[in-house]
Amino acid sequence: MATTDRQTATLALAHALSAAERGLPVFPLSATKLPALRSPHRDEKSPVRCRGACGLPGHGVHDATTDPAAVRALFAAAPRATGYGIACGRPPHRLIGIDLDIDTAHGNDSVAALQHLALQHLFTIPATVTVLTPSGGRHLWLTGPPGVSVSNSAGRLAPGIDVRGAGGYLVGPGSVTAHGRYRLAPGTAHLAPAPCPRGLLRLLTPRPRPNQPAGRTSPARQGQGLVQFVREAHTGQRNTRLFWAACRAYEHGFGDDLADALTDAAIGTGLTEQEARAAIASAARLTTPRPNP
pLDDT in tens, 140-152: 999 999 999 999 9
Cβ pair 33, 83 in contact under 8 A: yes
Whether the CB-CB separation of 176 and 8 falls below 8 Å is answered with yes
The type of residue at 69 is A
Closest CA to 167 of 243, 230, 258, 246: 258
CA–CA gap between residue 109 and residue 271 (Å, rounded): 24
How many CB atoms are closer than 10 A to CB 274? 13
Q: In this structure, are residues 98 and 142 in contact, taking their beta carbons and an 8 Å threshold?
A: yes
For the chain, domains (ranges, CATH) are 1-87 (no CATH), 89-206 (3.30.2250), 219-287 (no CATH)
Tell me how far apart the alpha carbons of residues 133 and 156 are, in angstroms, rounded to a whole number.
21
The pLDDT of residue 125 is: 95
Higher pLDDT, 127 or 43: 127
Share of the chain above pLDDT 70, in %: 88
Q: What is the pLDDT of residues 23-69, one digit of tens each?
A: 999 999 999 999 999 988 887 777 767 878 888 899 999 999 999 99
Per-chain mean pLDDT for the chain: 87
Query: Which of 83 and 54 is assigned the larger pLDDT?
Result: 83
pLDDT exceeds cutoff 50 at 223: yes
Query: 28: closest CA among 69, 57, 4?
Result: 57
Per residue in 209-235, is it b (16+ CB within 10 Å) or e — as a string?
Answer: eeeeeeeeeebeebbeebbebbbebee
DSSP assignment letter at 65:
B
* Average pLDDT for 241-257: 85
